[in-house]
């Protein structure tokens, strides 16, 4: 059957809707680089068969002239050659065989192609996360065998093995077994290109319209790709915890970007704050015995600003910020006498009861919390007082804090608390701060505060900030190295 007869294809068309379902199959021309070979199950040799029409669900084949005609119910093996890609379908059944005065066709519905997807036991342990309907990532790929033609998809869900894509019913070539060069776009989080193989095709509905649902598996998946997808998932999907992502190999670059920071406003939120404090200190094993959730609050909560951070409706971090008047004792003065040589009450912001959800550690959540405190609380006052465990003193000193030498034992905490003080505005222009940690903690909030004219950098301060910014690649490399080191083992809790 030559294409010279194709100008009036209507008389050759037969009803194969039982194969293609709601999809209108595409005409296949001899120049389309789509070929087929078939053989009956008892036969050893393949016979070339022309593809007349095809859809993602099946093909219509012109009955071969040099072999037995295919009849309904015949078991066959099918090979498709699409733009140089050979796909084998084993154990197919000819669903329909029809003819009229002009043509004789056999309709064959695809079954699973001869490809390996993985062990069933592995697949059961792979979690899928739904993409947000408000912010769908997209994907596209060149249409195999077509010049200047592309297929466009929406990414419906993501797993460590592959993607679930949806596309218009106009696409006729998402055939099981076909390999696509897929470019996936996750917006501000990044774009990557990787080969994928189609493993299943079905139907779904979006916005009241029928669409193709195309399941693909990754043939190549790099750490960068997993980081891009992890960042999208932590911000927009139905992820329940960071550990869930990390267990599947998705390590988002930023946790803080996915957290909504605000000030506590309701009693229900305060109840969650107390639970989070208890949960965080239980993980640190820092509480005395018989401490209850209600013991995690005190009178200072009522006169302080309590900052909370929520991830998809779950509270994951909190801190208490208190502004003292000149005649109001500091919280720390309940335990120690405040030296006259240190900044006094009216110059100080006290930070206390800082807590991070144990499942959200090993990332930049603490950085995000400090940025929010600096951006919303450091204006007229610059000095910040806080206490921490001994093992954290060195870390905070790198951020610009100084050990006051003051120590105390809390009523509910069993470890000694070390009192630190820092000048936040000086830290934001790099004074007494490691250049690496300035880039990790202060760089972004420093730029924000300078643009808002809360702080100004002149002379040596401006030079220092300019020089410190040159260390940004080194700081990013250090952060990446730490994350790589954490990936070597399962996520675990650390004591803050």
Same domain as 211, residue 73: no
Predicted local distance difference test score (pLDDT) of residue 463:
94
Same domain as 469, residue 341: yes
Q: Which of 221, 249, 256, 250 is nearest to 235 (CA)?
A: 256
Residue 116 lies in a domain: no
Q: Which of 279, 214, 218 is nearest to 248 (CA)?
A: 218
Same domain as 263, residue 163: no
Strand ranges (E), 222-344: 260-263, 305-311, 314-323
Same domain as 269, residue 166: no
For residue 277, the SS3 value is helix
Phi-psi bin for 83: left (phi > 0), alpha (psi -120 to 50), beta?
left
Counting the structural domains of the chain, the total is: 3
Q: Read off the CATH number of the domain in which 213 is found.
A: 2.40.10.220
Segment 250-270 shows an average pLDDT of 93
Same domain as 389, residue 329: yes
| From 91-95, 128-132, 163-167, 473-477, the region with the lowest mean pLDDT | 91-95
Residue 27 lies in a domain: yes
Same domain as 477, residue 352: yes
Which residues make Cβ contacts (< 8 Å) with residue 452, sequence separation at least 6?
none
Same domain as 228, residue 313: no
pLDDT at 147 over 90: no
Same domain as 301, residue 239: no
Residue 43: which pLDDT band, with cuts at 50, 70 and 90? confident
The CA distances from residue 144 to 48, 52, 181, 259, in Å, are 21, 17, 9, 41
Residue 447 lies in a domain: yes
Same domain as 280, residue 215: no
Start-to-end C-alpha separation, the chain: 76
347 CB-side CA count, 13 A: 12
Q: Give the whole-angstrom CA distance, residue 77 versus residue 183.
A: 32
Same domain as 275, residue 147: no
Residue 148 lies in a domain: yes
Residue 495 lies in a domain: no
pLDDT at 303 over 60: yes
Higher pLDDT, 262 or 247: 262
pLDDT at 444 over 70: yes
Handedness of CA 457, 463, 466, 468 (dihedral sign): negative
Written as six digits, the tokens of 369 are 């919390």
Q: Which of 325, 324, 320 is nearest to 305 (CA)?
A: 320
Residue 494 lies in a domain: no
Same domain as 239, residue 282: no
pTM: 0.82
Residue that finishes a domain, picked among 247, 270, 304:
247
Residue 405 lies in a domain: yes
Predicted local distance difference test score (pLDDT) of residue 490:
46
Residue that finishes a domain, picked among 77, 109, 141:
109
Q: Which of 49, 51, 50 is nearest to 67 (CA)?
A: 49
Same domain as 196, residue 70: no
253 CB-side CA count, 13 A: 15
Q: Read off the CATH number of the domain in which 78 is found.
A: 2.40.10
Q: Give the whole-angstrom CA distance, residue 146 versus residue 5.
A: 22
Higher pLDDT, 68 or 49: 49
Residue 114 lies in a domain: no
Q: Read off the CATH number of the domain in which 361 is found.
A: 3.40.630.30
Strand ranges (E), 223-267: 260-263
pLDDT in tens, 168-207: 998 888 999 999 999 999 987 789 999 999 999 999 998 8
Predicted local distance difference test score (pLDDT) of residue 423:
93
Written as six digits, the tokens of 225 are 């790709």
Residue that finishes a domain, picked among 69, 85, 109:
109
Predicted local distance difference test score (pLDDT) of residue 493:
36
Q: Is 185 buried (19+), middle (13-18) or exposed (0-12) by CB count in 10 A?
A: middle
The CA distances from residue 195 to 102, 144, 198, in Å, are 41, 13, 10
H or E segment to which residue 275 belongs: helix 267-284
Domain that holds residue 104: 3-109
């Amino acid at each position: 059957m030559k294409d010279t007869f194709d100008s009036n294809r209507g008389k050759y068309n037969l009803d194969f809707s039982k194969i293609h379902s709601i999809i209108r199959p595409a005409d296949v021309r001899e120049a389309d680089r789509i070929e087929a070979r078939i053989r009956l199950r008892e036969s050893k040799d393949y016979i070339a068969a022309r593809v007349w029409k095809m859809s993602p669900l099946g093909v219509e084949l012109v009955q071969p002239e040099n072999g037995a005609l295919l009849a309904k119910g015949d078991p066959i093996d099918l090979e498709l050659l699409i733009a140089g890609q050979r796909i084998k379908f084993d154990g197919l059944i000819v669903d329909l065989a029809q003819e009229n005065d002009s043509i004789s066709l056999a309709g064959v519905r695809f079954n699973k192609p001869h490809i390996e997807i993985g062990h069933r036991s592995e697949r059961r342990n792979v979690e899928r996360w739904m993409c947000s309907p408000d912010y769908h990532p997209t994907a596209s790929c060149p249409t195999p065998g077509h010049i200047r033609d592309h297929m466009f998809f929406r990414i419906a869900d993501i797993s460590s093995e592959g993607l679930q894509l949806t596309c218009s019913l106009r696409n006729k070539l998402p055939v099981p077994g076909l390999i696509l060069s897929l470019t996936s776009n996750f917006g501000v989080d990044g774009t990557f290109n990787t080969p994928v193989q189609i493993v299943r095709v079905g139907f779904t509905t979006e916005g009241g319209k029928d669409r193709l649902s195309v399941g693909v598996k990754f043939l190549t998946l790099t750490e960068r790709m997993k980081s891009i997808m992890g960042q999208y998932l932590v911000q927009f999907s139905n992820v329940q915890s960071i550990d869930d992502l990390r267990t599947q190999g998705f390590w988002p670059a930023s946790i803080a970007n996915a957290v909504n920071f605000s000030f506590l406003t309701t009693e229900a939120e305060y109840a969650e704050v107390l639970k989070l404090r208890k949960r965080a200190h239980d993980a640190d094993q820092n509480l005395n015995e018989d401490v209850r959730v209600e013991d995690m609050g005190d009178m200072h909560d009522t006169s302080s600003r309590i900052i909370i951070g929520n991830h998809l409706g779950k509270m994951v971090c909190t801190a208490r910020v208190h502004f003292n008047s000149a005649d109001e004792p500091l919280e720390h003065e309940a335990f120690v006498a405040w030296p006259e040589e240190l900044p006094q009450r009216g110059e100080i912001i006290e930070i206390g009861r800082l807590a991070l959800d144990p499942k959200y550690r090993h990332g930049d959540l603490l950085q995000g919390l400090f940025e929010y405190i600096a951006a919303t609380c450091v204006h007229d006052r610059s000095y910040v007082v806080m206490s921490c465990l001994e093992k954290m003193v060195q870390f905070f000193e790198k951020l610009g804090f100084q050990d006051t030498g003051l120590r105390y034992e809390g009523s509910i905490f069993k470890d000694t608390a070390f009192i630190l003080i820092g000048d936040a505005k000086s830290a934001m222009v790099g004074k007494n701060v490691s250049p690496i940690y300035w880039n990790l903690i202060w760089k972004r909030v420093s730029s924000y505060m300078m643009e808002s004219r809360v702080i100004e950098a002149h002379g040596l301060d401006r030079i220092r900030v300019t020089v410190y910014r040159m260390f940004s690649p080194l700081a990013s490399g250090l952060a990446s190295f730490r994350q790589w080191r954490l990936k070597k083992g399962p996520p675990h809790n650390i004591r803050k």
